[in-house]
Structure 1
């Protein structure tokens, strides 16, 4: 079995999920498809070495080990201190949700204390406990919880039809119109898509024909890959994002981010894809005619791995429509509604979208 390899950039972003964004190591490891022990080892290495982490293999010094233990204890104390405060922020969705939280945790904290913390009355809570409810309201509440879970898993991007398919897959018996009604009541609305096509800038040098010819269907994995890069605006300037997609599964098999629009960025994205998928046989790689993809290092990498090069015709973005569709989804569902103060913030958000939502969870209409 071939040992999996991960880039330094991948490790750094994976660690940030646990240390900066509050995701548990177990959940993050499931989302990213790596073993929890490996992820925890990365977290320990980053805690000790900081920005210099992951230069290679090595052992911790006694001072580094002591510092790592102390930092872990401090993080644990902070989590215990902030637990109820964070729960209060997350549950401010209406009296019924907050009363449900109080009822669930009555054995842990006093009711009066929780009601004060959440800003609800004790008399209202006790009335809620004894109030009779109709069968329809019970059913709607059950469906609303499932709808909310599906909507939040999609990062508030799914419309009623995709949420409905999620519910059917989970075993709920309901109609599309019922889902639409409950989503309207909860003010859950899908993000609208961009309609204008991307703009092509400048002339390109032709070094390969359009072998793909808009045949975006594949019979199996590692037969057809498409690649391109886009840009994300931050207060610090542009962040460029390169990606490689397998047309069979529509999975992002490789990606890289950089402050500069260089050939090394697209090369790193292809290297990640090769590391993840091994050395594929008879693979077709399609991109536009940008100078990054026509550069000598990138073309040499493809030749060394026996990858066939295909390129879009000049000024015709539809030749790489599958890649443009991914970037449209990325910007519509995540980037468009965010304001990034730093490139680091944008990196973390793009990493989260690709590795924790788009690859493992998002429904793709093209492949059903």
Structure 2
């Protein structure tokens, strides 16, 4: 009982006085359950949440609603360290600006070049450590309009990739840029950058890779057709290979979703049609 008394902040004498006092049948049942909850929590070394405590009681032949267990644990302050951290993270998230909504809803069929772009970040293994690569891809032509690489992946990495895309002259005013919920894409710095350049942000649902499938498909081709077959001693060598593949992808690789035209050919065709 020493651990429990210390956890609850009461003396042992007070605890036994509370156990032995007169109670009603309802109070008695609640106190028995409270004792069982305390014991199950203590047996987990103070790390179990209310779901695991409920499951532990059920295994011991004491089925009880998990909301009841949650209420008892909350009243006693029996909160695991992991739950405390999760609460602090959730509390921080509740105070931040809401993420952009999904403007695509998995519709990757744009026919206007520079109107909708997608992007993501991937990593390449080298003997020096990871090389991070960010891309900006035009959805209509599947051309990689912008890319950037570096030893770290701060927000300026995706800003550099977007700046390269803008400098091609193909990004239209009011263009949509769709990404996942990476911290770089949610940052105030990137939001301000997009706002200054007339770009509307869009994000799919969290933990749903299919919502950004067009961007991730390019990385699967980059790695499957080129990088997975090579070993890089330096980040510089890996970055050069990434740039080489992007040039090949844009100008020489036939794309089945473009009726086997290259992205560069499709971009030129759509740009001419739009003009």
Report the TM-score when normalising by structure 1: 0.44
Moved over 3 A (4+): 202-206
Separation of aligned partners in 2, 1:208 and 1:318: 17
Match of 1:215 among 93, 107, 110: 107
Tell me how far apart the structure 2 counterparts of residues 342 and 222 of structure 1 sit (CA, whole Å). Answer: 34
In structure 2, the residue matched to 1:271 is 163
Gaps of 5+ in 2: 1-88, 260-275
**Which of 225, 228, 234 in structure 2 is aligned with 1:342?**
234
Q: Is 1:307 aligned with 2:199?
A: yes
Contact 1:279 1:305 in 2 (8 A): no
Asked if residue 367 in structure 1 is aligned to residue 258 in structure 2, the reply is yes
Question: How far apart in 2 are the matches of 1:333 and 1:349?
Answer: 12
**Which structure 1 residue ranges, 5 or more long, are not aligned?**
1-201
In the alignment, is residue 259 of structure 1 matched against residue 170 of structure 2? Answer: no
Query: What secondary structure, in the 3-state scheme, does the structure 2 residue paired with 1:359 have?
Result: helix
Residues 327 and 280 (structure 1), Cα distance of their counterparts in 2 relative to 1, 3 Å cut: same
Q: Name the counterpart of 2:208.
A: 316
Query: How big is the alpha-carbon RMSD for the aligned residues of Structure 1 and Structure 2?
Result: 1.7
Residue 132 of structure 2 corresponds to 240
CA distance in 1, matches of 2:251, 2:171: 23
CA distance in 1, matches of 2:242, 2:185: 22
Residue 249 (structure 2) pairs with residue 358 (structure 1): yes
Q: CA deviation at 1:279?
A: 5.3
Which residue matches 1:131? none
Aligned-pair CA distance for 1:282: 2.7
The one-character-per-residue Cα deviations of 1:59-88 (angstroms, maximum 9, x if unpaired) are: xxxxxxxxxxxxxxxxxxxxxxxxxxxxxx
* 1:274 to partner: Cα distance: 0.5
Q: How many residues align?
A: 166
Shift, 1:278, TM fit:
5.3
Is the aligned partner of 1:284 residue 2:205? no
Q: Distance in 1 between matches of 2:147 and 2:161?
A: 4
Q: Do 1:241 and 1:256's aligned partners in 2 also have CA atoms closer than 8 Å?
A: yes
8 Å contact kept, 2:165–2:171? no
The offset of 1:304, in angstroms, is 0.8
Deviations 1:191-224 (A, max 9, x none): xxxxxxxxxxx99985111111111011210111
